[in-house]
Amino acid sequence: MSGRLIDEVEIGELKRLLRAGITISAPPFQVRVQSDNSVLGESLKRLYGACRIDGDAQAADFVIRVGATSAIRRFVRRDVIALIDTPPPFTRLPYEMAPLMFEQALNWCVATRTFTHLVMHAAVVARDGKALIIPGESGQGKSTLCAALVSRGWRHLSDEFAMIDPETLEITAHPRPISLKNESLEAVTAWGAAPESVMEGTPKGTVGYLPPSMGAIESAGQRAMPAAILFPGYTVDSDPSITKMEKGRAFIILTACSVNYRELGEEGSKAMTRLVSRTPIYRTTYPDTASSVGLVESLGLWD
Amino acid sequence: MDPLLRILRDPSHMPSLAASEWTLVMQRARRRALLGKLGALARDAGCVEALPAAVQRQFSSMVRLADHNGKNLKAEAFQVLHALADVDGPVVFLKGAAYALLELHADRGRVSSDIDILVPKDGLEAVEDALQHRDWQPMKLNAYDQEYYRRWMHELPPMRHRYRATVIDVHHTILPLTGRITPDPKALIDAATPVDIHGRTGLVPCPEDLVVHAAAHLFQDGDLSERLRDLLDISQMIGEFAAEPGFWDRLLERAQVHDCGRPTFYALHFARTVLGTDVPAGVLDSLRPHPAALSRALMSMLVPAALVPSPPDNATGFARLARWLLFLRSHWLRMPPVMLARHLTIKAWRSLSQR
């Protein structure tokens, strides 16, 4: 690996480089970011410390500029918006929420511009090359479960997207800061994790992140095959339960979780059919994180 | 030379671009639907492996998207023929749909979601009814726009499929009725050639009409702003069709039949000067009618600056001026001055009163 770890770049220098633009290696992508927002500079150091920057030696998959919506907004009622090459689908946020803006913009780029893989909204963790896919929209507990398993030594592949090779079903890791909201922030604090860049009063409530570890970034190129798909079901006061899901129903729900199923046409539906028919799929309910981890371990797929 | 033009003129130069040049080239290409085409050119030139990893990834994504898009267009064309099975009269697929059905080089890496068809004007109503019966619904337009389309345009207001969300434009001729030149839709239909679409037979314009239509669309009906992709389509069609004996003579003839000497002249001229397309010198001189010397000089100054996509939010002053002047030109060509004044007044009034 070439380039410098962001963690080793002194904050003043990082902000100075960021003003001109830096290209961050966020496997598998190279992401160019340019911003004069100092909150973003600080959060990049904390959230992407395990990633590398390499001057202008790398071409970038995506280019994201993060800045004020107008000159006056750099001084009065300061705000922030992400700009990309096509008209941006984002709405402006207060200046301090630049980290959230950047994460949204990068997620948007990955979701709308990746057609080499079947991409679905899901967290992915793995042990021994066997991956657990945890699908779901935000708020259903996928990030919390992902964070819990990662804290217990699972490899962190992604908190947001399962990128599945349509031929081999192999999963490409895209480890990024794990995004946690509201109660899930408290849940992870309970087992000693320390969310960074916590922002209160965002459109999604309070948002914070757990940065990917050095190990997650360095192992991003390693092979992982889907071993199980598990729908998270955090429910207050429920008894922990896990049941196998009927395949036809799972197919429909997973299709709805996919961001590019329609665009991939026949290739996408073949890949989804293969994934659903080969992989055991479970539905769960659980009242807390500890019991959700217990349910995953009870599957016995990783012994 | 602009690195984007350098690699379009000769894709084998792609490996010589620096990483930082690629980042900007990909941004510019992405803004104007050129990224997939670049990807296909790299693939055809066999130089993909020599490119930076990020470029390979993005090319691969866009080329795959375009491949699926081509298949979807063909399936959609089948649905259109199915919907129109009981309507008498020919249905000609135009533009992107035709390129996809013919699997032209111009279709490689090209993404377009709309289907354009041409039908005889007297069959327009039956076609509209039949499509609406099969779930293509008129897109929401206000009364003025509806009236404008039906009275002055060369197409019906666009319709969108209720479930598949594909958009169809039904044309009865290839340029607005208000414009300075009036191509012959009957001649285009009479010369159209059959193409198999999953067992049904559709029609596409003959090769020369495809070029003339693309030229008219770009140089007579559009404002040219950053529309390098459309010039590349033309350049690729010329490259592919010119191998057929007699192509250039037929092209001269068809340009005349459609009253499109001028736009065809500009298309060939700029394909040659901007993209390095081979055009025999005699062809340009033989096109009639010929643009006047002053127009040619002005266009030669403005078009290259306007046509080539700028970096995001960073167009040069000259590119902006050129685009503005060519925007005025496009409206001038589209309708007589009094009508233009009325149209722009209504548009301006509406945009003010809607605030």
- The full DSSP string for B188-242 is HHHT-EEEEETTEEEEE--HHHHHHHHHHHHHTSS--TT-HHHHHHHHHHHHHHT
**A77 burial level (CB within 10 Å; 0-12, 13-18, 19+):** exposed
Which residue's structure tokens are 């208000």?
A: B178
pLDDT at A286 over 80: yes
What is the Cβ-side half-sphere exposure of residue A3, based on CA atoms within 13 angstroms?
20
Residues 292-331 of B with CB under 8 A from A: 312-313
| Structural domain of B302 | 3-353
In chain B, the number of structural domains is: 1
Q: What are φ and ψ of residue B202, in 5° steps? A: -110, 175
List CB contacts (< 8 A) between B26 and chain A. 59-60
List CB contacts (< 8 A) between A85 and chain B. 27-28, 30-31, 312
Query: What CATH number has the domain bearing residue B230?
Result: 3.30.460.40
Tell me: do A122 and A95 sit in the same domain.
no
- Evaluate whether B100 touches B108 at the Cβ level (below 8 Å): no
pLDDT at residue B355, rounded to an integer = 54
Query: A113, A131, A147 — which closes off a domain?
Result: A113
Range with lowest mean pLDDT among B71-80, B145-154, B319-328: B145-154
Minimal-distance CA residue of chain B relative to A83: B312
pLDDT at residue B317, rounded to an integer = 78
Residue B337's pLDDT band, with cuts at 50, 70 and 90, is low
β-sheet with B92-94: strand ranges across? B136-138, B159-161, B167-171, B114-118, B92-94, B200-204, B193-197
List CB contacts (< 8 A) between B40 and chain A. none
In a domain, A123, yes or no: yes
In a domain, A65, yes or no: yes
Residue A287 vs residue B180, higher pLDDT = A287
**CA-angle at A300, arms to A294 and A302, nearest 5°:** 100
From B23, B31, B55, residue closest to A86, measured CB to CB: B31
Tell me: do A284 and A139 sit in the same domain.
yes
Mutate: best of B31, B61, B69, B72, partner A, most A CBs <10 A: B61
- How many C-beta neighbours within 10 Å does residue B241 have? 19
B283/chain A closest Cα distance in angstroms = 38
Query: A83, A113, A143 — which closes off a domain?
Result: A113
Q: Which of A17, A155, A192 is nearest to A8 (CA)?
A: A17
pLDDT at A10 over 60: yes
- B65 and A263 within 8 Å at the Cβ level: the answer is yes
From B27, B61, B69, residue closest to A113, measured CB to CB: B61
pLDDT (tens digit per residue) in B258-300: 999 999 999 999 999 999 999 998 999 999 888 888 888 888 9
Q: Report the alpha-carbon distance of residue A241 to residue A140 in Å, rounded.
A: 16
- A116 and B72 within 8 Å at the Cβ level: the answer is no
Query: A113, A128, A157 — which closes off a domain?
Result: A113
From A29, A59, A84, residue closest to B52, measured CB to CB: A59
Tell me: do A288 and A221 sit in the same domain.
yes
Tell me: do A145 and A251 sit in the same domain.
yes
- Evaluate whether A46 touches A26 at the Cβ level (below 8 Å): no
pLDDT at residue A302, rounded to an integer = 82
Tell me: do A130 and A279 sit in the same domain.
yes
Rg value, chain B, Cα: 20
A156/chain B closest Cα distance in angstroms = 22
- Evaluate whether A14 touches A41 at the Cβ level (below 8 Å): yes
Residue B152's pLDDT band, with cuts at 50, 70 and 90, is low
B73/chain A closest Cα distance in angstroms = 11
In a domain, A303, yes or no: no
Q: Report the alpha-carbon distance of residue A147 to residue B212 in Å, rounded.
A: 60
pLDDT at residue B148, rounded to an integer = 72
From A57, A83, A85, residue closest to B19, measured CB to CB: A57
Residue A203's pLDDT band, with cuts at 50, 70 and 90, is very high
Residue B184's pLDDT band, with cuts at 50, 70 and 90, is confident
pLDDT (tens digit per residue) in A147-158: 999 999 999 999
Tell me: do A290 and A204 sit in the same domain.
yes
Rg value, chain A, Cα: 19
Residue range A50-64: mean pLDDT, rounded: 93
pLDDT (tens digit per residue) in B14-36: 999 999 999 999 999 998 999 99
Minimal-distance CA residue of chain B relative to A268: B68
Q: Is B59 on the interface with A (CB under 8 A)?
A: no
Q: Report the alpha-carbon distance of residue A15 to residue A38 in Å, rounded.
A: 7
B54/chain A closest Cα distance in angstroms = 5
pLDDT at A242 over 90: yes
Mean per-residue pLDDT over chain B, rounded:
90
Q: Which of A114, A115, A100 is nearest to A37 (CA)?
A: A100
pLDDT (tens digit per residue) in A269-279: 999 999 999 99
List CB contacts (< 8 A) between B55 and chain A. 59
E-strand ranges in B83-199 read: 92-94, 114-118, 136-138, 159-161, 167-171, 193-197
Tell me: do A106 and A131 sit in the same domain.
no
Residue A137's pLDDT band, with cuts at 50, 70 and 90, is confident
Minimal-distance CA residue of chain A relative to B72: A265
Q: Report the alpha-carbon distance of residue A54 to residue A32 in Å, rounded.
A: 11
In a domain, A26, yes or no: yes
From A23, A30, A263, residue closest to B68, measured CB to CB: A263
Residue B173's pLDDT band, with cuts at 50, 70 and 90, is confident
- A30 and B53 within 8 Å at the Cβ level: the answer is yes
- A29 and B52 within 8 Å at the Cβ level: the answer is no
Maximum pairwise Cα distance, chain B: 58
Tell me: do A173 and A245 sit in the same domain.
yes
| Structural domain of A22 | 4-113
User: Distance of CA B280 to CAs B207, B277, B283, Å?
Assistant: 18, 10, 6
List CB contacts (< 8 A) between A63 and chain B. 23, 27, 312
pLDDT at residue A27, rounded to an integer = 96
Listed in sequence order, the residues at least 6 apart from B66 whose beta carbon sits closer than 8 Å to its beta carbon are: B36, B39, B40, B107, B108, B109, B110, B111
- Evaluate whether A171 touches A118 at the Cβ level (below 8 Å): no
pLDDT (tens digit per residue) in B100-126: 999 999 999 999 878 999 999 999 999
The single-letter DSSP state of residue A255 is: H
Tell me: do A71 and A136 sit in the same domain.
no
Identity of residue A54: D
Mutate: best of B25, B55, B57, partner A, most A CBs <10 A: B57
Residues 61-100 of B with CB under 8 A from A: 61-62, 64-65, 68-69, 71-72
Residue B340's pLDDT band, with cuts at 50, 70 and 90, is low
Range with lowest mean pLDDT among A81-85, A170-174, A202-206: A81-85
Range with lowest mean pLDDT among A87-91, B34-38, B207-211, B291-295: A87-91
In a domain, A201, yes or no: yes
Q: Copy the structure tokens of residue B160.
A: 């969108």
Kindly report the length of chain A: 303
pLDDT at B354 over 80: no
pLDDT at residue B178, rounded to an integer = 65
ipTM: 0.94
In chain A, the number of structural domains is: 2
Q: Which of B127, B100, B121, B126 is nearest to B111 (CA)?
A: B100
Give me the total of CB pairs closer than 8 Å, taking one residue from chain A and one from chain B: 67
pLDDT at A268 over 90: yes
Q: Which of A61, A66, A106, A60 is nearest to A83 (CA)?
A: A66
From A63, A83, A114, residue closest to B61, measured CB to CB: A114
Q: What are φ and ψ of residue A194, in 5° steps? A: -125, 95
Q: Is B28 on the interface with A (CB under 8 A)?
A: yes
pTM of the model: 0.91
Maximum pairwise Cα distance, chain A: 59
From A61, A83, A264, residue closest to B54, measured CB to CB: A61
Minimal-distance CA residue of chain B relative to A32: B23
User: Distance of CA A154 to CAs A49, A127, A150, A191, Å?
Assistant: 20, 6, 5, 15
Residue range B156-171: mean pLDDT, rounded: 91
Q: Is B22 on the interface with A (CB under 8 A)?
A: yes
Minimal-distance CA residue of chain A relative to B64: A115
Percent of chain A with pLDDT over 90: 83
